[in-house]
Amino acid sequence: MCLFARELLRLDRLIISVSKNPFKAPADASGDDRAAMTDLLVDEINAAGSFAELSVWELQQPGPSYTIDLLRHVAALHPGDELVLLVGEDSYRQMPQWRESREIAKLCDIAVFGRSGGELAAASCGETLPPATLFDFDMPVSATEVRRLAAAGQPVSHLVPPTIAAYIASHGLYRA
């Protein structure tokens, strides 16, 4: 998704932040492990030309992470830059529940990568969801599926880059 977003949105920089999402159950991977895997992802993305970077700012904050705080932080670090928030369709649908959700669209453009096709996401736009650019990105990969397979001892190398699959295996992540 990151490489497609780079081309489709003509991004100059991609900041991948590791969060402490208050809407998700605690993962079987520590913040340090998630940051390490994200750093491996950044390396994979940058193999096609350097533009991605890891941010652990959210992990360093007390309490849960909120997108609005991250956006304000990034805007302060990069004043004058046009910000684009990349989200999956499932996250986009939850945006009305996010902290200060109406402020998010004031700080950035929103790009939604849908799993079920653009028509489903577009049907909800304008009601309670902020305006967004919708991309039909029918990619059957989800973090939930990766964790489920890893917990069952199944390979995940067909769903994630080899370096991340090796990290998950060598650190015994997501095992029950």
User: Per-domain residue ranges for the chain?
Assistant: 2-139
**Rounded distance, CA 121 to CA 136, Å?**
9
Q: Which of 27-36, 82-91, 136-145 has the lowest mean pLDDT?
A: 136-145
pLDDT at 77: 96
- Categorize the per-residue pLDDT at 118 as very low, low, confident or very high, splitting at 50, 70 and 90: very low
Strands 52-55 and 84-88: unpaired
Band (121; pLDDT cuts 50, 70, 90):
very low
pLDDT tens figures, 32-43: 999 999 999 999
- Residue 25 pLDDT: 63
Res. 173: pLDDT tops 60: yes
CATH number given to 2-139: 3.40.50.620
Q: State the Cα–Cα distance between residues 132 and 138, nearest whole angstrom.
A: 17
The model carries a pTM of: 0.88
Which tokens go with 28?
């079987």
Q: What is the 3-state secondary structure (H, E, C) of 26-44?
A: CCCCCHHHHHHHHHHHHHH
Q: Stretch 153-176: mean pLDDT, rounded?
A: 92
Residue 25 to residue 13: CA distance in whole angstroms:
30
